[in-house]
Amino acid sequence: MRRPITRVEGSSPRVQKIEIESPMTMNTCLLYPKEGAPCLDQAKRGPKHCLLADCERGRTKRVVPVEEPNRMWLRRISDRSWVRTRAKLWLALVIAVTLFAGPFARAQFAYVASNGTDSVSGFLINRGTGALTPVAGSPFPAGSFPVSVAVHPTGKFVYVANNAQFSGGNGNVSGYTINPGTGTLTAIVGSPFPAELLPNSVTVDPSGKFAYMANQGNNVSGYAIDPSTGALTAIAGSPFAAGSTPVSVAVDPSGKFAYAANETSGNVSGYSIEPSTGALTAIAGSPFTAGSFPRSVVVDPSGKFAYVVNAFDGDVSGYRIDPNTGALTTIAGSPFPAGFFPQSVAVDPSGKFAYVANQLSANVSGYAIDPSTGALIAIAGSPFTAGEGPFSVAVDPSGKFAYVANMDSGTASGYTIDPNTGALTAVVGSPFVAGFVPQSVAITPLVPFASSFAKLEIKTGHRPGFHLKEFFRLATNSNGINPVTENLILQIGTFSVTIPSGSFEQIRHDRFGFEGSIDDVRLEVQIVPLGNNLFTFEAEGRGVDLAGLTNPVTVLLTIGIDSGTTTVDAVSHPPDDGR
């Protein structure tokens, strides 16, 4: 016996809500088109052009998309009767379901390692203001003389390098699980994990599979990370040889290359990463010359550039990364001036700005990054006042805030970032108490989309531009998105644009829109919630030439701390003359 079907179409002509009746319950499903194909009536041929996105109770056997655009209809197939209903009732339900988080939604946290108290302080970040509030139970015990803190890319684990320089022994790594709702840290079973002599820095690769530590014993330790527990196991062949006194280690966004800043030898060791084991192999030409007393290394989000701060020289060395070999080539104009005794460098998630913590001049240098050359250009108003002894700087994944650990004043400074200029402004309540001798700060990462796919058209000719349409679903642990109050970052291949918070308007109760020009690119953007954490994102850009991109093209969309990456085969064509 055929199950009776009731079908409903929402305000979008290509997205349907399908309700399937049964004697016991009502199942509700959403359909969205696969690869942009319209959802036409496929009653006889079956739903070949539509992809089932979600079904709450999961026993759907048949779905029949409807043809009527911009109206909602109810139809009972069994008796062919039609009843029109109003779209607004369903759209109100959609927004209520979409914009409010569930009980296990993940908040955003900052963690500060304080070597004066052998502890890690945890803070809840106010997503609106950037203010820091201590989490319950903070500070949390660490090992002896913690000097560096890193957060796993899933936001599940925290790792702290314990230098142990005043207690003897080799030092170790403390591992913790993060309570996603409260930020409370709980020691991982088996923690602390053994390390080499005097570990100085810890980082986790973008895949979350491996962790690396720079050790004063002239090497880099590698660990495999258990994805369920967070426990660390030494990689075969670890530790790997470095230069003299490596003090910082970073991994590029692709996870292909790692770099260690060697303080005493004044250079940078480069490695290729074996993707299955995490083992490090020296890159041809490594080590690469840096300045005097290099203290920190970072790779920008595009993976094109690397930056190293040189403490004794008071400047920043810039490098272009060979995408095939990982070799470093000095950028024209490098090194770039910084403050007195710089200790740490960070790049914002859009790749537009870089920041350097200057320990002895008690401030932060800010730079705009030339997207073509990687050259650093001082931001108007730079340097920006910090506390005493700023030793570490980090930018939150939304790009709205920056934080600095002030070693000598026992505080953390918080700043809002101007999305257009990169200028820093102290957040209300800053600086925040952060323990005795805070030396490192790290922030929980983006919440990845549960799924996403996109269609990209590149317009060439005398009026270049692009048209992007993407469907994405938020993760179950997301706090939801609010485009009106959050930064939006869109990256299409090498092109990147940030739409600042406050730019979107809620143009109807069911959608958000932005129209305007940013960096000489004319943009029209619309975000529509469809229910069950599913959204459409559509962007039209004019005045940007993406003809040089090669397929597949990587598309990264970030809204607040929610983000997703997908690849797409772009279609290129000249614009119509009438456009």
Confidence of residue 527 (pLDDT cuts 50, 70, 90): very high
In tens, the pLDDT along 320-345 reads 999 999 999 999 999 999 999 999 99
Confidence of residue 167 (pLDDT cuts 50, 70, 90): low
pLDDT at 73 > cutoff 70: no
In tens, the pLDDT along 236-257 reads 999 999 999 999 999 999 999 9
Query: What is the mean predicted confidence (pLDDT) over 96-115?
Result: 64
Q: Please provide residue 566's backbone torsions phi and psi, each rounded to the nearest 5 degrees.
A: -140, 160
pLDDT at 95 > cutoff 50: no
d(CA 445, CA 153): 6
Q: What tokens does 160 get?
A: 């702290």
Q: Please provide residue 195's backbone torsions phi and psi, each rounded to the nearest 5 degrees.
A: -135, 180
pLDDT for position 380: 96
* b/e code 313-340 from CB counts within 10 Å (16+ = b): bbbbbbbbbbeeebbbeebeebbbebbe
d(CA 415, CA 435): 19
The reported pTM is 0.75
pLDDT for position 107: 76
pLDDT at 443 > cutoff 60: yes
- Secondary structure letter of residue 4 according to DSSP: P
Confidence of residue 425 (pLDDT cuts 50, 70, 90): very high
pLDDT for position 485: 83
Counting every residue, how long is the chain? 579
Which tops the pLDDT comparison, 198 or 26?
198
Give the architecture (CATH level 2) of 448-573.
Answer: Sandwich (2.60)
Q: With beta carbons less than 8 A apart as the criterion, state whether 240 and 254 touch.
A: no
Q: Lowest mean pLDDT of 17-21, 508-512, 538-542, name the range.
A: 17-21
In tens, the pLDDT along 486-500 reads 889 898 988 888 898
Share of the chain above pLDDT 90, in %: 61
Q: With beta carbons less than 8 A apart as the criterion, state whether 291 and 300 touch.
A: no
pLDDT for position 321: 97
d(CA 211, CA 250): 10
Query: What is the mean predicted confidence (pLDDT) over 453-476?
Result: 90
Place of tokens 């230069």: 243
In tens, the pLDDT along 256-299 reads 999 999 999 999 999 999 999 999 999 999 999 999 999 999 99
Q: Provide the residue ranges of all domains of the chain, joining segments of one domain with +.
A: 5-85, 109-443, 448-573
Average pLDDT over the chain, rounded to whole?
Answer: 82
Q: What tokens does 395 get?
A: 């930018």
- Fold of the 109-443 domain: Methylamine Dehydrogenase; Chain H (2.130.10)
In tens, the pLDDT along 214-226 reads 999 999 999 999 9
Q: Amino acid identity of 470? A: E
DSSP sequence for 71-120 = --EEEETTTTEEEE--HHHHHHHHHHHHHS--TT----EEEEEETTTTEE
The segment with the largest mean pLDDT, out of 303-317, 506-520, 565-579, is 303-317
d(CA 495, CA 323): 17
pLDDT for position 35: 38
Among 279, 415, 300, 399, CA closest to 357:
415
Query: What is the mean predicted confidence (pLDDT) over 427-451?
Result: 92
Query: What is the mean predicted confidence (pLDDT) over 119-144?
Result: 93
Query: What is the mean predicted confidence (pLDDT) over 96-109?
Result: 51
Contacts of 254 (CB under 8 A, 6+ apart): 206, 303
- Secondary structure letter of residue 159 according to DSSP: E
In tens, the pLDDT along 6-51 reads 333 333 434 444 433 333 333 333 343 433 333 333 333 333 333 3
Distance linking the first and last C-alpha atoms of the chain: 52
pLDDT at 85 > cutoff 80: no
